[in-house]
Chain A
Amino acid sequence: MSAFKRVQQWATFARTWHVFDCKWQDPYDSAQVIKKYLMGLHKPIYHPTNDCGDVVVCINSRDIALRGDEWRKRAYFHHTGYPGGASWTLAWELHNKDPTMIIRKAIYRSMKGNLQRRHTMERLFIFPGEDVPQDIMQNVTNQIRQLRLVPTRLDHIPEEEVQKYPKVMDYPQDYVLK
Chain B
Amino acid sequence: MSVSKINMAALVRSSFGLFKNSILNTAIRSLSTSKPLNIKEIREHKEGTKLVVEAVSLPSPRKDLLVRADNIDLPSSNCEHESSVKEPCYMCALGLDVKHTDVLILSQFVRSDGCMLPRRITGLCRRQQKKIGKMVSMAQKAGLMINLTPAWCKKDPKKRKDYKKFNTYFDEKTIFWKRIPDQNDKWKR
Contact B104 A154 (CB under 8 A): yes
B39 sits at the interface (CB 8 A): yes
Contact B142 A151 (CB under 8 A): yes
Interface residues on A, range: 35 or more
Contact B147 A175 (CB under 8 A): no
Q: Mark A53-85, 1 if CB is under 8 A from B, else 0.
A: 000000000011111101111110000000000
Which of A26, A66, A149, A170 meets B166, CB within 8 Å? A66
25 contacts between A and B (CB under 8 A): A68-B174, A71-B163, A71-B168, A72-B163, A73-B182, A73-B183, A92-B163, A152-B103, A154-B146, A154-B147, A157-B104, A162-B104, A167-B67, A168-B66, A168-B67, A168-B91, A169-B62, A169-B123, A170-B62, A171-B60, A172-B120, A172-B123, A174-B40, A176-B37, A178-B111
Task: Find residues 117-163 in chain B having any chain A CB closer than 8 Å to their own CB.
Answer: 117, 120-123, 142-148, 162-163
Residues of B within 8 A of A91 (CB): 163
Residues of A within 8 A of B144 (CB): 151-154
* CB-CB under 8 A for A170 and B180, given A177-B39, A178-B112: no
B88 sits at the interface (CB 8 A): no
* CB-CB under 8 A for A171 and B121, given A66-B168, A154-B147, A165-B65: yes
With both beta carbons as reference points, the residue of chain A lying nearest to B170 in the complex is identified as A68
A148 sits at the interface (CB 8 A): yes
Q: Taking chain A's interface residues, is the majority helix, strand, or loop, or is none over half, making it mixed?
A: loop
A31 to B117 CA separation, bound complex (whole angstroms): 40
A70 to B166 CA separation, bound complex (whole angstroms): 11
Please list the residues of chain B having a beta carbon within 8 angstroms of any beta carbon in chain A. Answer: 26-27, 29-30, 32, 36-40, 57, 60, 62-63, 65-67, 90-91, 94, 96, 101, 103-105, 107-109, 111-113, 117, 120-123, 142-148, 162-163, 166-171, 174, 180, 182-184
Known: A167-B67, A178-B37. 9 other contacts (CB 8 A): A66-B168, A68-B171, A68-B174, A73-B184, A91-B163, A168-B67, A168-B94, A174-B39, A176-B39
Task: Find residues 119-178 in chain A having any chain B CB closer than 8 Å to their own CB.
Answer: 148-149, 151-155, 157, 162, 164-178
* CB-CB under 8 A for A173 and B103, given A66-B168, A92-B166, A153-B144: no
* CB-CB under 8 A for A67 and B145, given A73-B184, A176-B37: no
Contact B104 A68 (CB under 8 A): no
Which of B62, B91, B162, B182 meets A171, CB within 8 Å? B62
Contact A154 B107 (CB under 8 A): yes
Residues of A within 8 A of B27 (CB): 174
Instruction: Please give the distance in Å from A149's CB to the nearest CB on chain B.
Output: 7
With both beta carbons as reference points, the residue of chain B lying nearest to A71 in the complex is identified as B163
